[in-house]
Structure 1
Amino acid sequence: MSIPSALPTLFISHGAPTTALSGTPAHHFMKTLHDLVPAAGIRAILAVSAHWETDQPMLGAATRPETIHDFYGFPQPLYELRYPAPGDPALAADIADLLNAAGFKAATDPRQGLDHGAWTPLLLGFPEATIPVLQLSVQPHRDPAHHYALGQALRPLREQGVLVLASGSLTHNLRELDRRGPQAPVLPWASAFADWVNAALTERRDEDMVAYRAKAPEARRNHPTDEHFLPLFVALGAATPGLPAQALHRSMEFGSLSMDSYRFA
């Protein structure tokens, strides 16, 4: 297998569980992920999902990670979806060692499966499910700087054929969603935040991003809590310093749920 010198890192806004089946622009974008990063060049995928929260960094080390349906009240076809990708326990242990060498207290969990933050973009982008996948947790009680440093420690993996795919949400205020549907009119406070993030990422103003709570417009309203934004900082930290991010997709659903996704070289 031919492995490129360094894979990019990705941040994907995975949206509601229904993204896996919907015909939204974000759904169609995720189906192009295999064109952006051809599977032939990927040894394994490290999925950093907002839906796995732990006190310290944890690596999923299941041989066959189960598909976790970590939601309720949705249409039955969603619960029938499976993503039967293999795991890679040995790689999980190696990544835990890499993080521990950088000062993080990382460990592995042989029981952890793939939650919908991980399997939604993978199911659409790499439907063959042949590439080994393992998850890395986020620490919701820690700040963006912690997750940025976590990404920096993971940077060598890119030269080993490991695709860092961070999955969260560019905005995430579920209380203010317009429940009329994905095509609801875009709310100004959400678009202002998404536009600020787009400028900061494409200009690689990493320090501003890490301090987004103080610098971004309507930061608290767009992210009452950090957990869905934290995966972005892992992808950003693992990226090559100084190189601008590429906006892969930009759209808004339910008035304020940004589906923006980015590629970092």
Structure 2
Amino acid sequence: MTTVRQPTMFIPHGGGPCFWMAFPPPFGPHAWDGLRDYLAGLIKSLPERPKAFVVVTAHWEEAQPTVSAAGAPGMLYDYYGFPPHTYQLKYPAPGAPAIAAEVKGLIAAAGLEVGENAERGFDHGVFVPFLIIDPQAQIPVVMLSLQRDLDPALHIAVGKALAPLRDRGIAIVGSGMSFHDLRRFRDGDGRASQTFDAWLDETLTKSDPATREQRLARWSEAPAARACHPREEHLLPLMVVVGAAEASAGAVSFREAIGGKTISAFRFG
């Protein structure tokens, strides 16, 4: 039996536990429905059911890229001020210590520093979207942290190291947001998000692989970049995804205005 190469994907994970809440304007009760539908159809859109997901989460930063090695990760409710029922969400997907060891080995073999954490639970950058993606929690999930310095070139290099996993039926997912300025999410002004999203679209879907890596390494020079990402932790998972994409072509897999802000997902391969 042959294994089909899996794509790499950058997905929006929404705002906190958004799929289990009603939001006032400018969001409204159905603002996140389109994103929910996209996430719910993600597995069916893949060439075959993944053997595992390696998920780079915007909500985990360490001094060096760090791999979750827990066999049965717990829950990490790393959001604040939400309704009590959102702290009862459970995502009992298994970890995959053997795949975690492979992830660690690939990063080390590329000459990069790498760590391991056998205790960390699923943060909301993982359990919120994956409760929609795989509600039966059957596919193993291995988390990978960002490096705290948020160097885009370093994260592209990490992604390149992980590319061989794709040929083993393992899907590499970056969980973040294409727009992430919480101070402006409710102001109703979508111009900055539209401008930066247009730059992302050109970079990721219309540039050759070398050019897109060069442009992403200088992402902060893009139009409206800092207006959309005052701090770039929600964009950095994209860099790992692009590194792992190698020569795979990029495409928009989701795009919608949510609360007036353009939010996009991208897929490679």
Give yes or no for the alignment of 1:240 onto 2:246.
Answer: yes
The CA distance in 2 between the partners of 1:113 and 1:254, in whole Å, is 30
Distance 2:249 2:236 in 1: 19
Aligned match for 2:195, one of 186, 189, 192:
192
1:92-140, Cα deviation, whole Å (9 max, x unpaired): 1121111111011112111011111111221101111111111000013
Please list, as runs of the form range in 1=range in 2, the aligned pairs for 1:1-265 lying within 5 A after superposition.
3-4=3-4, 6-21=5-20, 23=30, 24=32, 25-37=34-46, 41-178=49-186, 185-204=188-207, 205-206=211-212, 207-214=214-221, 216-241=222-247, 243-256=248-261, 258-265=262-269
For residues 198 and 113 of structure 1, what CA distance do their matches in structure 2 show? 33
Deviations 1:230-262 (A, max 9, x none): 000100110032x43111111132333x43111
User: Using the alignment, how far apart are the partners of 2:173 and 2:89 within structure 1?
Assistant: 20
TM-score normalised by L of structure 1: 0.91
User: How much is the aligned-residue C-alpha RMSD, in angstroms?
Assistant: 1.7
| Per-residue CA distance 1:164-191 (angstroms, 9 max, x = gap) | 0110111111111216xxxxx4521111
Rounded to whole Å, the distance in 1 between the matches of 2:151 and 2:113 is 16
Paired residues of 1:14 and 1:169 also in contact (CA < 8 A):
yes
**Could you say what secondary structure the match of 1:53 adopts?**
strand
Gaps of 5+ in 2: 22-29
- Check conservation: 2:150, 2:233, Cα contact below 8 A: no
Contact 1:17 1:78 in 2 (8 A): no
Any idea what SS the aligned residue of 1:67 has?
A: coil
> 2-side partners of 1:63 and 1:74: how far apart?
29
Q: TM-score, normalised by structure 2?
A: 0.89
Counterpart position of 2:24: none
Quote the offset at 1:19 in angstroms.
2.9
1:20 offset after TM fit, Å? Answer: 2.9
- C-alpha separation in 2, matches of 1:16 and 1:142: 21
| Matched residue type, 1:198 | D
Greater mean alpha carbon deviation, residues 122-131 or residues 243-252: 243-252
1:192 is aligned with what amino acid? T
The question of whether the paired residues in 2 share the 8 Å contact of 1:14 and 1:259 is answered with no
Structure 1 runs of 4+ with >6 Å offset: none
76-85 vs 150-159, greater mean Cα deviation: 76-85
Distance in structure 1 (CA, Å) of the matches to 2:124 and 2:19: 9
User: CA contact under 8 A between 2:17 and 2:128: conserved in structure 1?
Assistant: no
Letter in 2 for 1:210: A
Q: Is the CA contact (8 Å cut-off) linking 1:53 and 1:137 kept in structure 2?
A: yes
